Amino acid sequence: MRFNQLNSCLSFGDAITHHTFEIDKILRTWGFETKIFAGSIDKNFASYQCKLPGNIENDSRYKKYINNTEDILLFHYSVHCDNISFYKGTKNKKIFEYHNITPHEYFRGYENFTELLCLNGRKELSNLSDCDWAVGDSEYNRRELIEHNFDESKTDVLPIFISFEKFDEAGINENLVKQYHDGWVNLIFVGRIAPNKKIEDIIKCFYYYHNGINKRSRLFLIGSLFLDKYNKELNDLTNQLNLERNVIFTDKVCLSDLKTYYSLSDVFICMSEHEGFCVPLLECMYFKIPILAYNSTAIPFTLDKSGVLINTKNYNEIAELIHIVVSDSKIRDQIIKKETERLKDFDIDKSKIKLKQIIERVI
């Protein structure tokens, strides 16, 4: 029996991509023959110190296996893509995993191509319910599947697979340590620099903290800079607020740099208005960084009573909250303790059990 995974694309730093790789690794230890197919494959994995699995092929090669009734196909869905037709036409046993799709309105005026992919992706969702089993990587996503004609009795939650061993094995960038380990308070956000992430709101929170509470502070914004117009808006805002020396846009970084930025940071702040899961929340739990996050979409499901949920974007009040978390060690320790407990729910062995149960149901 062969286990195929089909993705729209594979790219370094993308949570769905690394989730796919982890599942593939587990399946091979269970004795499955495996294949990973994608419409596009990032050529820059090596430059980010990441080795690709050897069983990756362009999605056109999946046609060779499309009529095999004994094979299993796990289709990862997060945006409209041409290989939807393979998913619809396959005779493999089908598992549909929904990673959610950013509402297209967030990209309006920034990039027509991405806006269209998201618009069409959501339109198509209700037409993809013909499968043996459907999973969301969060309860938020599972509920959205049910709203789009998927049979609730054949749905479940399969969290994103994260191997924290990769951080243990990664080195530290000593140059970053020398530059930023200086007694200043470091705030951090990790994720694509995209309109739905509301990076401008993070910058405004930081402005009130930096100007009104602690001048010895900086903000790390770690993530892909892929929308020129949005990037310019953020740079203009940073300049208007005289924060250009204190707000650091890194673009996409390698694993050792990401580990270093986490190790240097005091608080994670997230003002995102749309998340299907939000992997950096788990990474912060692992690095014992207190989380302040806006209460939206999948975020409360991922945190589940850990971290600090923010219901109103009052920047001045959030700045005060940052100060409390940084300066009050008792409160900080309580937040970290709850986050550490929550992280146990995402233990990879628990996720393996869930994956095995899903496969057994499909077989």
Residue 265 lies in a domain: yes
Structure tokens at 242: 């005289």
* pLDDT tens digits, one per residue of 184-219: 999 999 999 999 999 999 999 999 999 999 999 999
* CATH number of the domain where residue 213 is located: 3.40.50.2000
* pLDDT tens digits, one per residue of 11-21: 998 999 999 99
Is 308 strand, coil or helix? strand
% the chain with pLDDT above 90: 95
**So what's the pLDDT on residue 188?**
98
Q: Are residues 151 and 192 in the same domain?
A: no
* pLDDT tens digits, one per residue of 62-96: 999 999 999 999 999 999 999 999 999 999 999 99
Q: Are residues 197 and 326 in the same domain?
A: yes
Q: Are residues 176 and 63 in the same domain?
A: no
Q: Are residues 212 and 332 in the same domain?
A: yes
Q: Are residues 42 and 133 in the same domain?
A: yes
In contact, 3 and 34? CB cutoff 8 Å: yes
Query: pTM of the prediction?
Result: 0.96
Q: Are residues 157 and 174 in the same domain?
A: no
Q: Bin 273: left if φ > 0, else alpha if -120 < ψ < 50, else beta.
A: alpha
Residue 85 lies in a domain: yes
Neighbour tally for 334: CB within 10 Å: 12
* pLDDT tens digits, one per residue of 24-68: 999 999 999 999 999 999 888 877 778 888 899 999 999 999 999
d(CA 49, CA 56): 18
* pLDDT tens digits, one per residue of 325-349: 999 999 999 999 999 999 999 999 9
In contact, 342 and 73? CB cutoff 8 Å: no
Residue 124 lies in a domain: yes
- Number of domains present in the structure of the chain: 2
Q: Which domain holds residue 153?
A: 2-161
d(CA 96, CA 106): 25
Q: Are residues 134 and 39 in the same domain?
A: yes
Q: Are residues 21 and 148 in the same domain?
A: yes
Point out the domain boundary residue: 111, 146, 161.
Answer: 161
d(CA 286, CA 271): 20
Residue 358 lies in a domain: no
Residue 60: which residues within 8 A CB-CB, separation 6 or more? Answer: none
Q: Are residues 142 and 200 in the same domain?
A: no
Residue 77 lies in a domain: yes
